[in-house]
Structure 1
Amino acid sequence: MSRVLRASAIMAAGTMVSRVTGFVRSAVLVAALGSAQMGDAYTVANMIPFILFDYLLGGVLSSVVVPSIVRRQKTDPDGGRAYEQRLMTAGVLGLVALTVIAVLLARPLIGLYTHDWGQERIEVTVTLARYLLPQVAFVGVGALAGAILNTRDRFAAPMWAPVLNNIVMIAVLALYYVKAGPAGADVTAVSGSDLTVLGLGTTLGIVAQCLVLMISLHRAGFRLVPRFDLRQAGLGEMAKAGSWTFLYVTITQLGFLVTTNIASAAGDKAPGAGNTAYSQAFQLFQLPYGIIAVSVITAMLPRMSRSVAEGDLTSVRDEFASGVRLVASLLVPAGVLLMVLGPAVTVLIYSWGNNDPANALYIGSVLQVFGLALVPFSLFQLLLRVFYAFGDTRTPVLIGAGNTAVSIALSFLAAAVLPPRYVVMGLAFALTVSYVAGTAVAWRLAARRAGGLNGRVVAAGLSRMYIAALPAAALALGVLWITRELADLTPFNAAIMLAAGGGLGMVLYLAFAQRMRIPEVGSIVGMVAGRVGR
């Protein structure tokens, strides 16, 4: 038990520090590049390596690769060592080949994700992409190393290595800002040497992350011995097992392709309202989910899987309902407060350096729309784990296809009817609607599979949580109105809004939830009070 608790503490601490340093990195990034054309160019160039990684390896890593390694560790005479070496050899060869091809095809790859961009911005984006695309190999090798480490119960390095990447990136972006000055946010004025610092520096951060993982893997007993008898690596078997997962990645990336192109076109017509605004708002939106929901989801899946294996569907239903209520007890007020205080969050983080404060405010408007999606998005992820507990990877793909279709249709509608300045907000709303619809469909199918999901209990709990959150929302709105009446929204005023509206609002929510005897909130308050009292 102590070993499990220690591992959980290491993962939680690493995740929290990674998130904090990641947001410092995002703030410095926007300060150095702005959130208009230069920021959009970097955002598009830097996302392509990770898209390619997802296609080759990311989508099947946890669903296929990790179970295969664990199985070979138990069945092979050498504890799976040769299998791991074959897998790493195949991964390195495939990733290097993909990287070389991607660098050669940098220009058409950029063309897939941009729309109506001027020639100067295209050239800057392509130049950055050629520096950034080698990240594919290092991200992939690092992910394989992390997977092998996890199968050996080594969790520290995979959780903490991204922190080193963030620290390197913060230093690189600070150097870029000092070196380039205001020209660093202007695609027509940025120099080739500045792009070299930015591109190679970003890749250096990923290299450092990969090296940490490989060193940790070496210390765990793994030896990188090339093995070219790849027929025994089971690549065909893994490809077959991961076919549904690969299809899911393809579908989601199609939706992302549409979103990126529409955001690119909007940002070209309304600088500051393009890809950077969307990606930064989405990253902030993911923070409550990453901190609150992911740990619950991680714990839920093995317990529900064991209950399914034992034929105990009652425990599956109870586990799911308990997980939903626990996650929602904090995500409901978080989503409500994001809808009110989104601009205060982004003005505090992004109103620095080369970024226009008006563009920082716009990111907050997008974040407000994303706040609507926080609970549906998290509930959807919880529902997918019900299917995975039953060993069903096909149904999530079909639901995901429906989600993507709804999102694409609404995204095109937003691009057609909204002024360019509001298109990205429309994209955020399209995502919200798609997850509301996806959650409704997933709930119906999962309830049929599990013989019910305690829907009335969950609905009653969520209703009470939203009622308890109303006073918090009113308080936050009041603080927002008073502060805006007295002065403009500056970073200092934004900090006051967040402390008074957000901090006191959350305290007010907890107080009302306690009075309404919402058990999950009572448990959280009791746990925190117990730790403080020690």
Structure 2
Amino acid sequence: MLRASAVMAAGTMVSRVTGFVRTMVLAYAIGTAALGDSYNVAYQIPYSILDLLLLGVLSSVVVPMIVRAQQHDPDGGRAYEQRLLTLSTVALVAVAVAAVFAAPLIIDLYTVWDVGSTQYEVAVTLARLILPQLAFFGIGAVAGAVLNTRDRYGAPMWAPVVNNLFVICVFLAYAVFGTGGGDIARVTDGDLALLGLGTTAGIVAQAVVLILALKRAGFSFVPRLDVRNARLGEMAKAGVWTIGYVVITQLGFVLTTNLASSAGDAVAGHGVSPYTLAFQLFQLPYGVIGVSVITAMLPRMSRAVGEGRFGDVRSEFGSSVRLICSLMVPVSLLLMVLGPAITVPIYGHGANSVADAVYIGNVLQVYGLALVPFALFQLLLRVFYSFGDTRTPVFIGAGTTAVNALLMVLFYNLLPARYAVMGLALAYAIAYALGAVAGWLLASRRLQGLGGWAIGMAMTRMYLAALPTAALSLAAVWAVTQMFGGLALVNSLIVLAIAGGLGLLLYLGVAHRMRIPEVNSIVGMVAGRVGR
């Protein structure tokens, strides 16, 4: 698992680093005020639909079904894979076309902006240009799922790099040649076409990379419309609960964007964009570490369940939790301490001020609380998915979303508008912590135990090993702000060099001395590769 995860983590790391550059150029080119909010709403809508609908179905239904087809079908599941790719292509093209026509309704649903206002009209125009990527992103995701079941993990993790590089060039072109800058009142139709079509073109390039990788893996695509052999009934039976989960989580996302857009109307630069950019940074550690491990874990757990090896399922889950948390624990503490120091060098340029970047960092600090609970929550859902159980995650997700919604509304009404988005992040952290507890209790009952004592002791040791790093980071922030007065660009880089660089080395050293096996394995693997 470590080797497979390392391949994916390397690709994901490059992807997320280029994603850093992408969001940095985005903030530089259009800022985090009205134009930034319009772009981010239009950009997030297809991703939220795909992340929660298609990718949820892939992990919970499609991947286990492909594995079973590979194990039991006479042709090793090739015909089933071809039917799946054919049907998903047709369905996603239809969804993309419908979404483009429904763009005004979608923007009205996700925001509180007045119909006909400049911000609303700009968001609708951008959505119409960006929503076609639903088809290409979805086709690439299905291709990636087929590659994962064949233990080909590299291309799905490296393909987003192509997308990021493409879109970085688009934003740089806008910064150089665009006439609107960060002012929504001055932006032209040509500027919007560059931003919207350029964003979609990046997803097209990403899908092409995945399709070529699938061909190199020996997959020859033959269109198959023989629906009767596509096991749609079995898929629908398993997926109906996932659809329910999607509906519930989408309602939560709609509430989030409405509250964030309302906060942005009250205080410029404190709306959708800070929430979105901080959330993307919060997802970086999970995307690099968690997704890599989970992607390698799910097919293995599905095979173990299919063969009745429940002890291997418990072992796979426990090793995945320990491996993820060995890096997530120190990173979560660093996010809570270093939020503004991270965001100022990334977002404090061009159309975005240092003060705007500091606020994004404040939101990121709150998100640091959610990092470990969110990762555990996602791992626990995969236990149920490996059993083909998509019903239980719906109830867990429904409860988590309901708690999140109640807390978001509560914090939004209690906190001043300038702190509202931070309140949304806090609600997210509390909700996923409670969701992880509920998921653990139910998964433990399913497997007659998850090895909670051993996992709890391992995580306790990880937190103890990370405490010196947190102390060093706090000292660095305090010393730099006292000596230089604030976290401007250079000051932030000094803090990151001390706290981020030396702090992580300190954690690795302390964890190695404490003989935390997962950290020792990572250090040993890296040392071995360097030695070569």
TM-score normalised by length of structure 1? 0.91
Separation in structure 1 between the aligned mates of residue 225 and residue 520 of structure 2, nearest angstrom: 57
Correspondence 1:384 to 2:381: yes
Amino acid at match of 2:172: A
Q: Which of residues 263, 267, 291 is equivalent to 1:266?
A: 263
Unaligned runs of 5+ in 2: none
The residue aligned with 1:375 is: 372
Partner of 2:197: 200
Question: Measured at CA, do residues 132 and 303 of structure 1 come closer, stay the same or move farther in structure 2, by a change above 3 Å?
Answer: closer
Report the equivalent of 1:417: 414
Q: Which amino acid aligns with 2:11?
A: G
Paired residue for 1:249? 246
Q: Secondary structure at the match of 1:273?
A: coil
Q: Equivalents in 2 of 1:406, 1:256: separation in Å? A: 13
- Which stretch of the first structure deviates more once superposed, 206-215 or 14-23? 206-215
CA distance in 2, matches of 1:88, 1:521: 39
User: What code does the residue aligned with 2:277 have?
Assistant: Q
Residue in 1 aligned with 2:155?
157
Deviation at 1:117, TM superposition (A): 4.8
- Superposition deviation, residue 268 in structure 1: 1.4
2:163 aligned partner, one-letter code: N
Q: Segments of 4+ in structure 1 off by > 6 A?
A: 4-7
CA contact (8 A) 1:244 1:397 kept: yes
Distance in 2 (alpha carbons) for counterparts of 1:79 and 1:54:
28
Q: CA deviation at 1:90?
A: 2.7
CA contact (8 A) 2:69 2:77 kept: yes
1:185-334 equivalences under 5 Å are 185-220=182-217, 222=219, 225-305=222-302, 308=305, 314-334=311-331
Give the 3 Å change call, closer, same or farther, for CA 154–274 of structure 1 in structure 2.
Answer: same
CA deviations 1:431-477 (Å, max 9, x no partner) are 11011111222222222222233333333332332233222212111
CA RMSD in angstroms comes to 2.7
Closer/same/farther in 2, CA of residues 295 and 142 from structure 1, 3 Å limit: closer
Distance in 1 (alpha carbons) for counterparts of 2:301 and 2:224: 38
In 2, are the aligned partners of 1:30 and 1:39 still within 8 Å (CA)? yes
Distance 1:39 1:371, change over 3 A: same
2:478 maps to amino acid: W
For residue 55 of structure 1, report the CA deviation from its aligned partner: 6.7
Per-residue CA deviations over 1:219-239 (Å, capped at 9, x if unaligned) read 555555544443443333322
Say whether the 8 Å CA contact 1:142–1:214 is kept in structure 2. Answer: yes
Select 1:140's aligned residue among 112, 128, 138: 138
Cα deviation for residue 339 of structure 1 reads: 0.6
Asked if the contact 1:54–1:249 (Cα under 8 Å) also holds between the matched residues in 2, the reply is no
Shift in alpha-carbon separation, 1:376–1:78, aligned structure 2, 3 A:
closer
- Is the 1:117–1:268 Cα contact (8 Å) retained in structure 2? no
Instruction: Please list the CA deviations of residues 233-272 of structure 1 after superposition, one character each: whole Å capped at 9, or x if unmatched.
Output: 3333322221122212222212111111111111111121
Q: Is the 8 A contact 1:44 1:125 kept in 2?
A: yes
Q: 2:435: which partner in 1?
A: 438
Cα distance change, pair 69–125 in 1 and its aligned pair in 2 (3 A): same
Cα deviations by residue, 1:93-141 (Å, 9 ceiling, x for unpaired)? 3222222221111111100110145701001101111111111121122
Cα pair 1:313 1:451 within 8 Å, conserved = no
What SS is found at the alignment partner of 1:143? helix
Cα contact 1:184–1:194 (8 A) shared by 2:
no
CA distance in 1, matches of 2:145, 2:57: 11
- Residue type matched to 2:494 in 1? I
Secondary structure at the residue paired with 1:372?
Answer: helix
Q: Please state how far the C-alpha of 1:385 moved relative to its aligned partner.
A: 3.0
- Structure 2 distance, partners of 1:240, 1:312, is 25
Q: Which one of the candidate residues 388, 397, 402 is aligned to 1:405?
A: 402
- Change over 3 Å in CA distance of 1:224–1:261 after alignment to 2: same
CA distance in structure 1 between the aligned counterparts of 2:156 and 2:423, rounded to whole angstroms: 36
Partner of 1:121: 119
Q: Which residue of 2 aligns with 1:350?
A: 347
Aligned residue number for residue 168 of structure 1: 166
Q: Hey, what's the Cα distance between the residues in 1 that align with 2:302 and 2:216?
A: 32
- For 2:174 and 2:233, the matched residues in 1 are separated by 45
Question: Is 1:103 matched up with 2:100?
Answer: yes
Which moved further from structure 2: 244-253 or 150-159? Answer: 150-159
Q: Report the CA distance shift for 1:316/1:206 in structure 2 as closer, same or farther (over 3 A).
A: closer
Counterpart pick for 2:47 among 33, 50, 73: 50
SS in 1 for 2:184: coil
In structure 2, the residue matched to 1:24 is 21
Q: Which amino acid aligns with 2:39?
A: Y
- Distance in 2 (CA, whole Å) between partners of 1:205 and 1:337 is 32
Q: Distance in 1 between matches of 2:49 and 2:278?
A: 23
Matched, 1:364 2:338: no
Label 1:453 to 1:212 Cα distance change in 2 as closer, same or farther (>3 A).
Answer: closer
Provide the secondary structure at the position in 2 that maps to 1:431: helix
| Alpha-carbon distance in 2 for matches of 1:150, 1:305 | 13
Among 88, 91, 110, which residue is 1:91 paired with?
Answer: 88
Q: Which residue in 2 is equivalent to 1:395? A: 392
Q: Contact 2:107–2:123 (CA<8 Å) still a contact in 1?
A: yes
Q: Does 1:524 align with 2:522?
A: yes
Does the CA-based 8 Å contact 1:468-1:512 persist in structure 2? Answer: yes
Q: Percent identity?
A: 62
Q: d(CA) in 1 for partners of 2:463 and 2:74?
A: 56
**Partners of 1:465 and 1:518 within 8 A in 2:** yes
Q: Tell me if the contact between 2:163 and 2:205 (Cα under 8 Å) persists in the aligned partners.
A: yes
C-alpha distance in 1, partners of 2:50/2:302?
A: 29
Partners of 2:302 and 2:490 lie apart in 1 by 49
SS at the partner of 2:32?
Answer: coil
Report the CA distance between 1:172 and its aligned residue. Answer: 0.5
In structure 1, what residue type is equivalent to 2:105?
P
TM-score by length of 2: 0.91
Q: CA deviation at 1:372?
A: 0.9
Is residue 462 from structure 1 mapped to residue 459 from structure 2 by the alignment? yes
Gaps of 5+ in 1: none
State how far apart, in whole Å, the 2-side matches of 1:507 and 1:288 are.
Answer: 17
Partner of 2:472: 475
What is the rounded CA distance, in whole Å, between the counterparts of 1:343 and 1:147 in structure 2?
A: 36
Cα distance change on mapping 1:523 and 1:335 into 2, 3 Å: same
* 2-structure distance, mates of 1:502, 1:384: 31
**Distance of aligned partners of 1:495 and 1:56 in 2 relative to their CA distance in 1, 3 Å threshold:** closer
2: CA distance, partners of 1:229 / 1:317? 38
